């Protein structure tokens, strides 16, 4: 769990998350949009952002909640495995570049 949620979620967050999930059609946009590819490792995307109803789904802050707050432009629906795999995007950097050819 993120340090941002130590005290639990608020009603405002649950309502915003429900709107984001509905906007994204309850599908895992975190995986579809490539956010999972930014962190190395293997996980299994379920493709469904809300298995037990819109109030139980996950939503991923694409640039980190500390940076964008709860602006819905920077939040996408995510399945639980993808959201937990990605974690806080500000906690890790992009992987190093891999050379394609040698000079």
pLDDT, one tens digit per residue, over 52-73 is 555 578 899 988 888 888 899 9
pLDDT above 90 covers a percentage of the chain that reads: 21
In this predicted structure, what is the pLDDT of residue 94?
60
The CA distance from 61 to 69, in Å, is: 8
pTM for the full predicted model: 0.72
Instruction: Over range 27-51, report the average pLDDT.
Output: 84
Instruction: Give residue 23's pLDDT.
Output: 92
Q: Which is more confidently placed, 56 or 74? A: 74
Angle at alpha carbon of residue 45, lines to 39 and 48, rounded to 5°: 130
């Amino acid at each position: 769990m993120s340090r941002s949620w130590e005290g639990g979620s608020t009603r405002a967050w649950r309502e915003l998350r429900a709107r984001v999930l509905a906007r994204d059609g309850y599908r895992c946009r975190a995986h579809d949009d490539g956010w999972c590819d930014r962190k190395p490792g293997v996980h299994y995307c379920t493709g469904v952002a809300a298995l037990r109803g819109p109030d139980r789904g996950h939503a991923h802050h694409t640039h980190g909640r500390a940076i964008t707050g709860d602006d819905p432009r920077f939040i996408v629906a995510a399945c639980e495995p993808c959201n937990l795999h990605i974690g806080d995007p500000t906690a890790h950097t992009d992987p190093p570049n891999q050379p394609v050819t040698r000079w």
